[in-house]
Amino acid sequence: MNFSFLGGERCGMTLDERNTPEERMNLHEQVYNIVWILLGIGICTESIRLKLWDVSWGPGPGFIPFLAGFFIGGTGLLLFISESSKGWEKKRPEPFWQDPTTRKRIFYILGGLCAMALLMPILGFLLTSILITSFMLRVIEPQKWLAVIAISLASCFLVYWLFFSLLQVSLPKGLLGV
């Protein structure tokens, strides 16, 4: 059975007409669908271990996660079948990131965030945020050092003032005490 009618908008065409290069099976999409199927199986397995039904309490702790897992895996499977029905793409699939610069930027942002989470308890909020935002500003779209430092200091002190001074949120102090 073809379930693609729930997924895309492929009006009034025969299978061959539908399978224009853009409408052929997308490899990235299939990777996503496989992840959903595996995630669904994982959640259902763990939910069964947690207990789906208890004689005295009724639905057990695994009941809702099992339902969620069933729908995640089941929907992933339907999407997989729907995508497979489009047929194989003959040419090489388009890269996930069209532009290598974008990929670099994404990794810089994520790397910066991870570094922030790691360094904040050691260096404190202010120092960590100044270092990381300066790094991001410098590498993501290279700017002059003066601009980098000015934007970084302004952003960090604004957030520090808002949360620490105004809202009295206790921010990590680190070794330097700020």
Partner 1 sequence: MDIFHNMQLGFSVILSPENLVYCFLGCLVGTLIGVLPGIGPLATLSLLLPVTYKLPPVSSIIMLSGIFYGAMYGGSTTSILVNIPGEAASVITCLDGHQMAKQGRAGAALGIAAIGSFIAGTISTVGLNFLSPILVVAALKFGPPEYFSIMTMGFVATMFMVGGSALKALLMIALGLFVSSIGIDVVDGTQRFTFGFSNLMNGADLVAVIMGMFGVSEILINMEEMAKREIFTSKVKGILPNRKDLRDSALPILRGSLLGFVFGVLPGAGNVTASFLSYSMEKRFSHYPEKFGTGVIEGVAGPESANNSAVAGAMIPLLSLGLPCNPVTALMMGALIIHGVQPGPMLIIRHPEIYWGVIASFYVGNVMLLILNLPLIGIWVQFLRIPYRILFPLILLLCVVGTYSTNLNIFDIWVMIVFGVLGYFLRKRDYELAPFILALVLGPLFEQSLRQSLILSVKEPMIFLHPISLTLLVISVLLLVILIWDRWKKRKGLV
Q: How far apart are CA 171 and CA 85, in angstroms?
A: 53
Residue 51 in contact with partner 1, rule: CB under 8 A: yes
In the complex with partner 1, which residue's Cβ is closer, 46 or 176? 46
In the complex with partner 1, which residue's Cβ is closer, 35 or 176? 35
Residue 58 in contact with partner 1, rule: CB under 8 A: yes
In the complex with partner 1, which residue's Cβ is closer, 8 or 20? 8
Contact set for partner 1, span 72-131 (CB under 8 A): 72, 75-76, 78-79, 82, 96-99, 102, 105-106, 109-110, 112-114, 116-117, 120-121, 125, 129
| Long-range contact pairs involving 1-6 (C-beta distance under 8 Å, separation at least 24) | 1/81, 2/81, 2/82, 2/85, 3/78, 3/79, 3/81, 3/82, 4/82, 4/83, 4/85, 4/86, 6/78, 6/82
Contact set for partner 1, span 134-163 (CB under 8 A): 136-137, 140-141, 143, 151-152, 155-156, 158-159, 162-163
**Which residue, among 160, 158, 171, has the nearest Cα to 120 in the 3D structure?**
171
